[in-house]
Amino acid sequence: MKKSLVVVSLVTLLSFNSLVSAEAAVQAGTSCPKAGKTSTSNGRIYTCIKLGSKLYWNNGTPVKPSSTTKQPTASVSGTVSQQNASKKAASYLRNSSFSRSGLIKQLEFEGFSNADATFGVDSTKTNWSEQAVKKAASYLRNSSFSRSGLIKQLEFEGFSSADSVYGVDAQKADWNEQAALKAASYLKNSSFSRSGLINQLLFEGFSKIEAEYGVSRTGL
């Protein structure tokens, strides 16, 4: 009798562990229980969204690692104006993400000369590829993009082509899911035929397969 109880207990425990693992496995595009619910899986935070009459996990965003990255500092020598430019650049980088040229322009907008702005930005010794990663993640948190569309957006922000590609690919985004989100956002504000919405997504930079998938997810 005791042996039977032990076996039952082990089976119950294994079943429970399997259930926990199944619940923890979240994948973009699969069904989810409630709009707005979030779940963390494989290093990404997923949010349950409603597309048409169905609920799906969105593409998710990377979980921010424990903050071990050195924060931008402004401990530099130079003229008073250069030191102030350095402090201002470090302040911006603590709160947002920029390309090198974008941050220089921002400091010039603040009234610094080009020379002082350049000095201030370069004094932060920033990794611009990592800034591109942060900027791409920021865009995907607030909107939906095709891969090529997001690369172009980062290039518009002043990132080099190489940094833009690096930043976008680091997101490991599901571009089919992004197409579905983009299609749904268009239908919230306007009406389209199936072919019309597919063409709109193609214009946004999605491939034909991605566009057709995204439109089909809306029910068109």
Is residue 110 domain-resident? yes
Domain count, the chain: 1
Nearest to 61 by CA among 192, 171, 200: 171
Is residue 93 domain-resident? yes
Question: How far is the C-alpha of 88 from the C-alpha of 216, rounded, in Å?
Answer: 48
The SS3 assignment for 176 reads helix
Is residue 45 domain-resident? no
Domain that holds residue 88: 73-125
Distance of CA 13 to the CA centre of its chain: 37
Is residue 101 domain-resident? yes
Spatial neighbors of 90 by CB under 8 A, at least 6 apart, are 71, 72, 73, 74, 124
The structure tokens 């000095």 sit at: 119
Tell me the pLDDT tens digit for each residue of 6-38.
444 444 444 444 433 444 566 676 778 877 778
Question: How far is the C-alpha of 25 from the C-alpha of 77, rounded, in Å?
Answer: 51
57 contacts 28 by C-beta, under 8 angstroms: yes
Question: How far is the C-alpha of 37 from the C-alpha of 102, rounded, in Å?
Answer: 35
Is residue 113 domain-resident? yes
Is residue 107 domain-resident? yes
Is residue 84 domain-resident? yes
Question: How far is the C-alpha of 91 from the C-alpha of 85, rounded, in Å?
Answer: 10
Is residue 159 domain-resident? no
So what's the pLDDT on residue 27? 67
206 contacts 173 by C-beta, under 8 angstroms: no
pLDDT per residue rounded down to tens, the chain (220 residues): 444 444 444 444 444 444 334 445 666 767 788 777 788 776 777 788 776 666 777 777 776 654 445 555 555 678 999 999 999 999 999 999 999 999 999 999 999 999 999 999 999 999 999 999 999 999 999 999 999 999 999 999 999 999 999 999 999 999 999 999 999 999 999 999 999 999 999 999 999 999 999 999 999 9
Residue 137 to residues 12, 53, 64: CA-CA distances in angstroms?
Answer: 41, 27, 11
Distance of CA 125 to the CA centre of its chain: 24
